[in-house]
Structure 1
Amino acid sequence: MLRVHSILQTQSKTRLVGANCPGIISAIGKCRIGFQPLPCFLPGNIGVVAKSGTLSYETVASLTRAGLGQSLCISMGGDVLAGTNFVDALQIFENDPDTEGIILVGEIGGTAEIDAAEWIRDYHRRTSNPKPIMALVGGLEAPPGRIMGHAGAWAAPGEPDARAKYKALQDAGAVLVNHPEKFGEGMKALLSTTSRRPSIQSVSGSQSQKRGFHTARRTPSGVQNRDNLLNRAQRRNLYIKQHQAFDILKSESIPVHNTVDPDDEFTLSISVDRSALSPCVVASPTIDEDMTLALSRKFPFSYANPDFSKDGSLIPSITSHLHLPDNARGGLQNLIEKLWHIFKEKEAFVLETRASLTPGGRFEVHGAHFGFDDAAYRSSGRQEEIHKLRNKDEEVPEEVEAEKDGIVYVKLQGEGSIGTLVNGAGLAMNTVDALTLHGGHCANFLDTGGKATSETVKSSFRIICSDPRVKAIFVNIFGGLTRCDMIAEGVILAFRDLDMKVPVVVRLRGTNEEAGQKMIAESGLPLHAFDSFEDAARKVISLARQS
Structure 2
Amino acid sequence: MFGSSSCRLNYAATLENLRIGSKTRVIFQGFTGRQATANAQESIAWGTNVVGGVTPGKESEHLGLPVLPSVRRAMDELKPDATGIYVPASKATPAIEEAIEAEVPLIVAVAEHIPLHDMLRIHSMLKTQTKSRLVGPNSPGIISSAKGERCRIGFQPLPCFSDGCVGIAAKSGTLSYEAVASTTRAGLGQSLCIGVGGDVLPGTDLVEALQVLEHDPNTKGIALIGEIGGDGEILAAQWITDYHARTPLAQRKPIVALIAGLLAPRDRVMGHAGAFWLPGEPAPNQKVMALRGAGVTMVNHPAKIGPALRTLMEDGTVQPPVGEIEEGAAFDSTDDFSTAISGGRPSQQRRGLHTSARRPSNISLPSRPQLRASSQQTRGLHLDTQASKQLLKEALLGLELQYHHCPTHYLALCIDRATRSQCLMTAIHTNPKSLLQPSRYDKILLPPSAKDVLALDGTETWHEIVTTLMAKLQISERPGSAAAADSVGKLLRDLGRVFRDKEAKYVGLQFGMPHNDKEKQKTTFPVYDLRIELDDAAARSAGRLADVHYRYAAKEARDPGAREAKAEGIVYHRLSPGNRAHNIGTLVNGAGLAMNTVDALAGHGGLAANFLDTGGKATSETVRRSFEIILKDDRVKVVFVNIFGGLTLGDMIARGIVLAYKEVDIRVPVVVRIRGTNEEEGQRIIAESGLPLYAFDDFEEAAEKAVELVSGVSAAKKVAQAVHESEGKIAELKKSIQLAAAGMLPVGGSEPSEEAAAPVDEATESPCGKTSESADDAPKQGDMAQEHTGKPRDSEKPEVADTIETLGSDHVA
Task: State the TM-score, normalized to the length of structure 1.
Answer: 0.90
Structure 2 partner of 1:172: 294
Q: CA deviation at 1:531?
A: 0.5
Tell me which of 472, 476, 490 is aligned to 1:334. 490
- 1:475-497 alpha-carbon deviations (Å, 9 max, x no partner): 00012233323321221222222
- For 1:162, the aligned partner's letter is P
Query: Residues 310 and 316 of structure 1 are in contact (CA less than 8 Å); yes or no, is this contact kept in structure 2?
Result: no
Distance 1:230 1:542, change over 3 A: closer
Residue range with higher mean Cα deviation, 125-134 or 284-293: 284-293
Cα-to-partner distance string for 1:179-224 (whole Å, 9 max, x where unaligned): 111111221111100189xxxxxxxxxxxxxxxxxxxxxxxxxx89
Contact 1:138 1:426 in 2 (8 A): yes
* Matches of 2:555 and 2:585, distance apart in 1: 23
Structure 1 residue 314 and structure 2 residue 436: aligned? no
Q: Aligned in 2, Cα 1:533/1:70: closer, same or farther, shift over 3 Å? A: same
- Indicate how the Cα distance of structure 1 residues 371 and 522 shifts in structure 2: closer, same or farther if over 3 A, else same: same
- Aligned partners of 1:521 and 1:528 also within 8 Å: no
Determine helix, strand or coil for the equivalent of 2:538.
helix
What is the Cα deviation at residue 103 of structure 1? Answer: 0.5
User: What is the CA–CA distance in structure 1 between the aligned matches of 2:429 and 2:709, rounded to whole Å?
Assistant: 49
**Aligned counterparts of 1:524 and 1:261: Cα–Cα separation in 2:** 60
Alignment partner for residue 159 of structure 2, among 39, 51, 76?
Answer: 39
How far 1:282 moved relative to its partner? 0.9
1:484–1:107 distance in 2 versus 1, CA, 3 Å: same
Distance in 2, matches of 1:364 and 1:74, equals 47
- What is the aligned partner in structure 1 of residue 554 from structure 2? 391
Match of 2:534 in 1: 372
Q: Is the CA contact (8 Å cut-off) linking 2:384 and 2:556 kept in structure 1?
A: no
Partner of 1:443: 609
Counterpart CA distance in 1 for 2:151 and 2:548 is: 43
**For 1:241-320, what aligned pairs fall within 5 Å after superposition?**
241-250=384-393, 251-259=396-404, 262=407, 265-286=408-429, 288-292=431-435, 293=437, 294-301=439-446, 302=448, 303-304=450-451, 306-309=455-458, 311-312=460-461, 313-320=464-471
SS in structure 2 opposite 1:362?
Answer: strand
Structure 2 unaligned segments of length 5 or more: list them: 1-118, 319-333, 336-367, 714-813
Candidates 311, 314, 333, aligned match of 1:192: 314
Please name the residue that 2:240 is paired with. Answer: 120
In the alignment, structure 1 residue 350 sits paired with structure 2 residue 506: yes
Q: After TM superposition, list the pairs within 5 Å mapping 1:425-464 onto structure 2.
A: 425-464=591-630
* 2-structure distance, mates of 1:329, 1:491: 62
Specify the alignment match of 1:408 in structure 2.
571
Distance 1:230 1:309, change over 3 A: farther
Paired position in structure 1 for 2:271: 149
Q: Which of 356, 370, 376 does residue 234 from structure 1 map onto?
A: 376
- In 2, the alpha carbon distance for the partners of 1:98 and 1:261 equals 57
Give the SS at the match of 1:173.
coil
Report the alpha carbon displacement of residue 393 of structure 1 after superposing the two structures with TM: 8.5
> Relative to structure 1, is the Cα distance of residues 392 and 281 closer, same or farther in structure 2, using a 3 angstrom cutoff?
closer
Q: Is the 8 A contact 1:454 1:493 kept in 2?
A: yes
- In structure 1, C-alpha distance between the alignment counterparts of 2:623 and 2:157, rounded to whole Å: 21
Which is worse superposed, 265-274 or 311-320? 311-320
The 1:368–1:261 alpha-carbon spacing in structure 2 relative to 1, beyond 3 Å, is closer
Which is further off, 322-331 or 461-470?
322-331
Task: Show the counterpart of 1:9.
Answer: 127
Q: Contact (CA 8 Å) 1:254, 1:365: kept in 2 or not?
A: no
Aligned-partner SS, 2:204: coil
CA distances 1:278-319 after superposition (whole Å, capped 9, x unpaired): 011111134743345333111122551542447423222222
Determine helix, strand or coil for the equivalent of 2:607.
coil
1:544 maps to a residue whose letter is V
Provide the residue aligned with 2:647 in structure 1: 481
How many Å separate the matches in 1 of 2:534 and 2:660? 35
Q: Is the 8 A contact 2:560 2:574 kept in 1?
A: no
Alpha-carbon distance in 2 for matches of 1:111, 1:227:
26
> Secondary structure at 1:247's aligned position in 2?
helix
1:90 to 189, 210, 214: 210
Correspondence for 2:24: none
* Distance verdict in 2 for CA 1:365–1:509, change over 3 Å: same
Structure 2 counterpart of 1:325, one-letter code:
S
Which residue type is aligned with residue 471 of structure 2? S
Aligned residue type for 1:174: V
Match of residue 544 from structure 2: 382
Identical positions, percent: 49
Q: Classify the secondary structure of the residue corresponding to 1:16.
A: strand
Structure 1 CA distance for aligned equivalents of residues 239 and 557 of structure 2:
45
Q: Assess if the C-alpha contact under 8 Å between 2:383 and 2:556 holds in 1.
A: no
Q: Name the aligned partner's letter for residue 388 of structure 2.
A: A
Please report how far the alpha carbon of residue 444 of structure 1 lies from its aligned counterpart in structure 2 after TM superposition. 0.2
CA contact (8 A) 2:466 2:489 kept: yes
Displacement of 1:348 after TM fit?
Answer: 0.6
Change (3 A) 1:278 1:518: same
- The answer (yes or no) to whether the contact 1:59–1:181 under 8 Å persists in 2 is yes
Q: Distance in 2 between matches of 1:447 and 1:230?
A: 25
C-alpha displacement at 1:519, in angstroms?
Answer: 2.5
Q: 1:163 to 1:96 in 2, by over 3 A?
A: same
Are the aligned partners of 1:139 and 1:433 in contact in 2 as well (CA < 8 Å)?
yes
Secondary structure of residue in 1 paired with 2:540:
helix
Q: Per-residue deviation at 1:446?
A: 0.2
Task: Name the amino acid aligned to 1:408.
Answer: V
- More deviation, 248-257/270-279: 248-257
Whole-angstrom CA distance in 2 between matches of 1:280 and 1:254: 23
Alignment CA distance shift 1:148-1:485 (3 Å): same
Once the two structures are TM-superposed, the CA of residue 23 in structure 1 deviates from its matched residue by 1.2
Cα deviation, 1:409-463, whole Å, max 9, x if unaligned, reads 0000122110000000000000000001110011000000113321011000011
Instruction: Tell me if structure 1 keeps the 8 A contact 2:375–2:556.
Output: no
Residue type at the aligned position of 1:322: L
CA contact (8 A) 1:104 1:135 kept: yes
SS in structure 2 at match of 1:48 = strand
The equivalent of 2:475 in structure 1 is: 324
Residue of structure 2 in register with 1:508 after alignment: 674
Distance 2:585 2:405 in 1: 45
Q: Partner of 2:256 in structure 1?
A: 134
SS at match of 2:268: coil
Q: Distance in 1 between matches of 2:490 and 2:288?
A: 41
TM (norm. structure 2) is 0.61
Contact 2:267–2:377, Cα closer than 8 Å, also in 1: no
Structure 2 CA distance for partners of 1:53 and 1:145, relative to 1, 3 Å: same
